[in-house]
């Protein structure tokens, strides 16, 4: 059993759905029908309130990539959808993907977020294995 202090809340930059923000859905994939487990906490821009985060265990969060995530320009549809690694284009599944965190995305006049994912070897190396 670990005696380490729990990490402080993670500051989230992008938008978060109400269900995820209130701990009613998996923070990573949005699942509500699976068993959910406590996975830390977050704060949102402009607020000091700490929100609980739950997960169904669907993915692991990469600490910080050693190099920047590639630009969305030139990425395949699978890479943009999160079904392929952003660096090597290898297919990833919910079980094998490593979440690289929400990133701002702008297409034409629409501002949104995209959620890049990587295969384990690329996530560990911060880029193509």
Segment 20-29, tens digit of pLDDT: 888 888 888 8
Segment 73-110, tens digit of pLDDT: 889 989 988 899 999 999 998 888 888 877 777 778 87
Instruction: Write down the pTM of the prediction.
Output: 0.50
> In this predicted model, which residue has the larger pLDDT, 4 or 124?
124
Tokens of 53: 């985060």
CA 11 from centroid of its chain's CA atoms = 13
Which pLDDT score, from 0 to 100, does residue 59 have? 65
Tokens of 94: 């919910």
Alpha carbons 114 and 3: distance in angstroms, whole number: 35
Angle at 40 between CA 104 and CA 18, to 5 degrees: 55
Segment 20-74, tens digit of pLDDT: 888 888 888 888 887 777 777 888 888 888 888 888 777 655 444 556 788 888 8
For strands 110-114 and 60-61, give the pairing. Answer: unpaired
């Amino acid at each position: 059993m670990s005696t380490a202090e729990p990490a402080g809340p993670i500051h989230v930059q992008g938008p978060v759905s109400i269900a995820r923000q209130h701990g009613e859905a998996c923070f990573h994939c949005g699942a509500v029908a699976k068993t959910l487990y406590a996975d830390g906490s977050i704060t949102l821009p402009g607020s000091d309130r700490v929100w609980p985060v739950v997960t169904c265990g669907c993915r692991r969060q990469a600490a910080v990539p050693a190099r920047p995530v590639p630009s969305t320009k030139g990425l395949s549809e699978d890479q943009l959808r999160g079904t392929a690694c952003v660096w090597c284009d290898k297919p990833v599944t919910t079980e094998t993907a490593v979440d690289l965190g929400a990133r701002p995305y702008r297409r034409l006049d629409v501002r949104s977020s995209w959620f890049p994912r990587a295969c384990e070897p690329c996530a560990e190396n911060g880029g193509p294995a």
